[in-house]
Amino acid sequence: MSDALLNIDPSSNPVTVVPDTTASASRRTVPSVPSESGTEATHPAPVGESRRITTSGDIEVSTYLEIAKEKTGEQPQPQQTDIPTEQEAVAIIDFGSQYSMLIARRVRECHVYCEILPHDVSKERLAALMPRGIILSGGPASVYAPGAPLAPAHIYESKLPILGICYGMQLLAHQLGGQVAPADHHEYGHSVLNVSTIGSPLFANLPASLPVWMSHGDHILSMPPGFSALAYTENSPVAAMGNGTGIYGLQFHPEVAHTPDGINILRNFLYKVCGCKGNWTPGNFIADTTRRIREEVKNGRAICALSGGVDSAVAATLIHRAIGDQLVCIFVNNGLLRRDEAERTLNTFRRNIKMNVVYVDATDRFLECLKGVTDPETKRHRVGEEFIHVFEQEAANLGQVAFLAQGTLYPDVIESSASDQKASARIKTHHNVGGLPARMTLKLLEPLRHLFKDEVRQVGLALGLPEDMIWRQPFPGPGLSIRIIGEVTRDRLDVLRAADWVVMNEVKKAKLYRQLWQSFAVLTDVKSVGVMGDYRTYGHMVAIRAVVSEDAMTADWARLPYELLARISNRIVNEVPGVNRVVFDITSKPPSTIEWE
């Protein structure tokens, strides 16, 4: 394993996570800051805040939500989820920055819909979004380097407002007649931006000087014709520029928390330059999505696999609101769930959502298919394939079904697709969108396909789902199989369930559950010597993983109070037979993923 391990020792204290004493807790973290000129740099956050570092990885997906009937051997294709004509939208053109997702989140926080598109997006695909404006992301390349990604001509010909960020600003200069060159003095870190042009809508209602975060090695040597400098820093005479017709460039990063007024700059671009009004709200999303589901499904029937996670719960509730009893949910107990989870999940759905839920206990089947398997990807595929087999059998009893509902989220799609965004490499197979038998023929209903996790929770609250369901921590589709390093057996599952129960119980008692993105135990494949009573032991080593994150695209290890860690360690070694050592994982994502497998 590449994760760093810290033996729990209450003799010193880490930075602590303050217990949540309110009804809801913020999970906002400080993002690491990109170096858009050749490298991606990370910088420490203030004490008590997260050091977020970006990559792709383990987003919760409800479970393996595919089905079907073996007919033509085709893989199910997502149904078109074009936004309606009245919906405002902005296109984010990705030039290879791993921080494009962060820009998208900031735009969504301004209640404006957006999508991330590849840098070579076609004119037709861009037009289908009907954007009010375009944002050019950062990127690791230099615009003058051979093979550097460029914006297609149709973006400039669209006459839409454009905001270039870092590499995006340099791209504007390079492609519109200016000149970009290596800077004598690189800028990485905090800087003070001085607004030099009064009246620019981009800096409306902002102070004349404001802190920003720079991360670049190139600079604008000469601006394109018609452009003027709007702001400068000590090392960047042109830190912001505009041409008076809606095209702007920013050398700094407004999307990161290190630029405190960055969200206001983005809001000014969206509202004052693009003319957006901010109608991307949970209520409008629910109304529009239920309407589109009714139009798509008509009199057909749909099935949905429930996992107990917020994604599948919100997706099922949204679809149920649209088509009622035309939806049937199936809950498969794969034997890889946490203690009492099957019972709690089933009761919650039947009592709160009042849906028709079919329950299947397939524990024996899943454990049989995992016998002798130690490779993580093989585990994922085996669990996915067996789920399909079970799901097919149950679905066949329902008669004619035309649609399969999934709780796929926007990060699921991006992380699992190597070609969807050309600059993004696939980190692992995701449970909703990959790794399944290529024989599915049902049409997919994916009402959450373009939402981030926090947006899903807001939609769930607007739908009236109970808070304990909405704030449930993410749980991977393959369940505990990927939290057991090595072979999955009944005995090892019992050990992990008992240890995980202690972790969850203590975290909740400390009122930290909502502050943590995930907190769980991992049963490692390491055994070590210990002393318990008058006897030497040779027992399991359990690792504790607790992270803070906004969307799991990046994550930082949580600075849990040492008193809490001591209680967890003491309880596990005393209450869980066969365990004599507990360690704490202190690795951020990247370089590690949140899950160990």
Active site residues: 166, 253, 255
Encoded amino acid at 385, one letter: E
Determine the Cα–Cα distance for residues 219 and 240; give it in Å rounded to an integer. Answer: 11
- Of 250, 243, 280, the C-alpha closest to 265 is 250
Encoded amino acid at 532, one letter: M
Dihedral angle at the C-alpha atoms of 142, 145, 151, 156, nearest 10 degrees?
90
Compute the residue count for the chain: 597
Classified as helix, coil or strand, 294 is helix
Tokens representing 181 are 């060159």
> Do residues 234 and 197 touch, judged by C-beta distance below 8 A?
no
The number of beta carbons lying within 10 Å of the beta carbon of residue 314 is 29
Determine the Cα–Cα distance for residues 54 and 352; give it in Å rounded to an integer. Answer: 37
Question: Sign of the C-alpha dihedral, residues 182, 185, 190, 195?
Answer: negative
Cis? peptide before 411, omega within 30° of 0: no
Give 177's Cβ-side CA count (13 Å radius): 6
Describe the crossing of helices 282-297 and 453-462 by its angle, rounded to 10 degrees: 80
Dihedral angle at the C-alpha atoms of 133, 136, 137, 143, nearest 10 degrees?
180
> Do residues 110 and 270 touch, judged by C-beta distance below 8 A?
yes
- Of 186, 206, 210, 190, the C-alpha closest to 198 is 206
